[in-house]
Structure 1
Amino acid sequence: MRRIRVAAAQMGPIQKAETREQVVARMIALMDDAAGKGADFIVYPELALTTFFPRWYHADRAEADHWFEAQMPGPQTQPLFDRAREHGMAMSFGYAELTPDGHHFNTSILVDKSGAIIGKYRKIHLPGHDEYDEERAFQHLEKRYFEPGDLGFPVWRMLGGIFGMCICNDRRWPETYRVMGLQGVEMVVLGFNTPSVNSQKGEEGIEQRMFHHRLSLQAGAYQNATWVVAVAKAGSEDGHHLMGGTMIVDPDGFIVAQLGHEDDGVLVHDCDLDATRFGKETIFDFARHRRIAHYGLITGRVGAEPPPEE
């Protein structure tokens, strides 16, 4: 048995006026709680240091740069790394990254028990739009403020297992899990900030969106025989509601733990990485069963093209 005690550290809303120092203090409090429950690894949400700022439009996109981190860790986030090192706890969290050469990404990192960053992932499947859209109930401008990730879907060895990361909308795309599955991933961790209502389809509310959330996680876990740990930022941020849905899914696709509120809180669960073996050695033994000669359209075509009409 290779047991990892994972803490899914959901965060309630982060208001626009909150400082980095205030948010980091909340993250440290969650970490202390997780440490008291014996956690080895803590996972925080997407954009864990800030409000979900892509809901606001800036004609000059540089006006949004104050939401980005030019250094990680930096002076405001170093206390989080220090506390993780004190607890001997690995961690993952998401933030807005500004690179030294001026690129902007929606990023997550993987940090080992020594406090060293061992992995970085940049969100690939950016939802939303890049210009103000008056037809939407609210704006979702990730395509304006972020570039598509350029690091692919790598995995890393840590805590005796194989870990991968993705972010929010990535969870809806089967290719996300399969690329990591082809590298033997045993746990996928992801954070999300998901509006409770579809901005382009008002009748699609939290019940339908939660169904699609669970469906995506469970399918990805089952079809790749991997644990999936999904962590929300939830609640009302300056009047804009984000749904919860923090949960842990096992390699058979079953939800084994979930939080039922929208506040700061930790969901702790023991995950046996050896539980991935059965699926990987039987129905999803890729080496025996995959037929890549027939999968060319997946990477050879972007948009759907129906066959010609008779």
Structure 2
Amino acid sequence: MREIVIGGAQMGPIQKADTREEVVDRMIALLQQAKGAGCDLVVFPELCLTTFFPRWYMEDQAEVDQWFEREMPNAATAPLFAAAREAQIAISFGYAELTPEGRHFNTSILTDRDGNIVGKYRKTHLPGHSEFDHDRAFQHLEKRYFEPGDTGFQVWRNMDAIMGMCICNDRRWPETYRVMGLQGVELVMLGYNTPSVNSQDSVEGLEKRLYHSELSMTSAAYQNATWVVGVAKAGDEDGHPLMGGSMIVDPNGYVMARAETEGDELIVHACDMDACSFGKSTIFDFARHRRIEHYGLICSQTGVVLPD
């Protein structure tokens, strides 16, 4: 048995006025809970050092850049890395990355149990729009503030398992998981900041949004025989609600642990990486069953082309 005790560290709202240091203190508190629960790995949400700033329309690049991290770890996050290293707990968390070349990415990192960064992923499927949209109930300007990621969907050997990452909207695209599945992924970690309401469809309520989030993760876990750990930032951020629904899903698509609140909350499950083996060697034995000669459209076009 290759068991990894995983903690999903859901975070409650982060207000616009909250400092990085205040947020890191909360992350360390969750990490200490995880240590008490015997966790080997803790997964935090997308953009978990700040409020979800893409909801705010900004024209001044200096104002935008204040939400980005120029290095990792940095002065604000060093205590988190130190706490994780002392506890011998690997961590994964998301933040806004500003590279030395001036590029802007929505990024997640993965460490080993000694606090060394062993993996970095930059969000591929950016939702939303790039200019102010008067027809939306609120803005979702990820396409304005971020570039599409340039890392692709890599996997890493860490803690005797094959691990991959994706972020928020990536979870809705089956290609995300299949690319990692073709590399033998056994654990997909993803953080998200998902509004509780649809800015373009007010009829779609929280229940439906939570269902679609769960559907995307459970179906992907099953279809790729992998553990999926999805962790939210949730609650009311300056009048803008984010949904929770953090969960740990097993390789058969069953939810093993689920958050019950929209605040700071740790969910824990002992995940056996060997549980991936049956699905990968039977119904989802890709080498035996995939028929790539029929999949050409997936990589040859983006939008829909209707038949004549």
Same-fold call, TM cutoff 0.5: yes
SS at match of 1:283: coil
**Which letter does structure 1 place at the counterpart of 2:255?**
I
Alignment of 1:1-310 (within 5 A): 1-308=1-308
C-alpha separation in 1, matches of 2:76 and 2:259: 28
Is the CA contact 1:126–1:143 (under 8 Å) kept in the aligned structure 2? yes
Shift of 1:205: 1.4
Q: 1:16 offset after TM fit, Å?
A: 0.5
- How many matched pairs? 308
Q: Supply the AA of the counterpart residue of 2:294.
A: H
Tell me the SS of whatever aligns to 2:28: helix
Task: List per-residue Cα deviations over 1:158-181 (Å, max 9, x = no partner).
Answer: 111000000000000000000000
1:63 to partner: Cα distance: 1.8
**Residue 29 of structure 2 aligns to which amino acid in structure 1?**
A
Identity across matched positions, percent: 68
Deviations 1:45-98 (A, max 9, x none): 000100000000012344210000001000110010000000000000000000
Aligned amino acid, residue 172 of structure 1: R
Deviations 1:134-173 (A, max 9, x none): 1000000000000000000000001110000000000000
Give the RMSD, CA atoms, in angstroms: 0.5
Structure 2 gaps of 5+ residues are: none
- Using the size of structure 2 for normalisation, the TM-score is 0.99
Q: How far 1:225 sits from its partner (Å)?
A: 0.2
Q: Which amino acid aligns with 1:109?
A: I
Instruction: Give the letter for the 1:49 counterpart.
Output: L
Equivalents in 2 of 1:132, 1:205: separation in Å? 24
Deviations 1:201-229 (A, max 9, x none): 11111111011001100111000000000
Deviation string for 1:246-276 (max 9, x for gaps)? 1011000111110110110110100000000
Report if the CA contact (8 A) 1:8-1:42 is conserved. Answer: yes
Q: Is the 8 A contact 1:61 1:145 kept in 2?
A: no
Query: Which secondary structure state, in structure 1, belongs to the residue aligned with residue 214 of structure 2?
Result: helix
Q: TM-score if structure 1 supplies the norm length?
A: 0.99
Query: Structure 2 CA distance, aligned partners of 1:30 and 1:260?
Result: 16
* Partner-residue secondary structure (3-state), 1:256: strand
CA distance in 2 between counterparts of 1:245 and 1:306 reads: 36
